[in-house]
Amino acid sequence: MAHSPLIKQLIESLRCLPGVGAKSAQRMAYHLLERDRRGARKLSHALSQAAEQVGHCQSCRILTEYEYCDICQSVKRDRQTLCVVENPSDVYAIEQSASYQGTYFVLMGHLSPLDGIGPQELHLDTLQQRVQSEDINEVILATNTTVEGEATAHYLVEILKPHVQKISRIAHGVPLGGELEYIDGSTLGHAFNGRQEFQ
């Protein structure tokens, strides 16, 4: 039996979420309609408001409904250190570690010529202007350790080197609590190349 047009539309809409296939979308739709109409209305309202009002911070480009996000407005942040990440979710991951107190710049992706994503799409000219105008001493590159993330980091080094004293890359390698026999060769290679001397 085919779904009615509205149910079919709801299922198809839910499939736009990452990792949600036809069965999962159907299960979600039926749950909302059969067991949680109030939750469905709340979800609908929250999605509508967010889609209309959330944009990008004018400074770091994180998602926010304000002109400048809380991080960029904070007087407690170190304005001379800038961390460059690929996505807004990366900012939240770093913030949860509570180990970084500087500011951010969100690329909203990584360089990928095959997908038509070049320097213009990542607003690298805006990043350069910010580094030049804000007296930034260190840029920390926290792009992903994928091929595209590494290529993006190397490109950033080339364009930012003339404008900043120090450019660093976050360390990557063996995770805390990891056992060497379960670590892949590429990760171990990065760990050896990035080793540090005991103090």
Handedness of CA 124, 128, 134, 136 (dihedral sign): positive
Return the percent helix, strand and coil in the chain, to nearest 5.
50, 15, 40
137 contact partners, CB below 8 Å, separation of at least 6 = 80, 81, 164, 165, 166
Q: What is the CATH number of domain 5-53?
A: 1.10.8.420
In three-state secondary structure terms, 80 is strand
- Asked if 129 and 82 count as a contact pair (C-beta separation under 8 A), the reply is no
What are the residue ranges spanned by the domains of the chain? 5-53, 75-169
Taking residues 121-146, report their average pLDDT: 91
Q: Would you state the CATH architecture of domain 75-169?
A: 3-Layer(aba) Sandwich (3.40)
Q: How far is 74 from 52, CA to CA, in rounded Å?
A: 25
Read off the pTM: 0.82
Give residue-wise pLDDT tens across range 23-38: 999 999 999 999 999 9
Give residue-wise pLDDT tens across range 139-163: 999 998 888 988 999 999 999 999 9
- Tell me if 5-53 shares its fold with 75-169: no
Q: Taking 70 as the threshold, does the pLDDT of residue 199 lie above it?
A: no
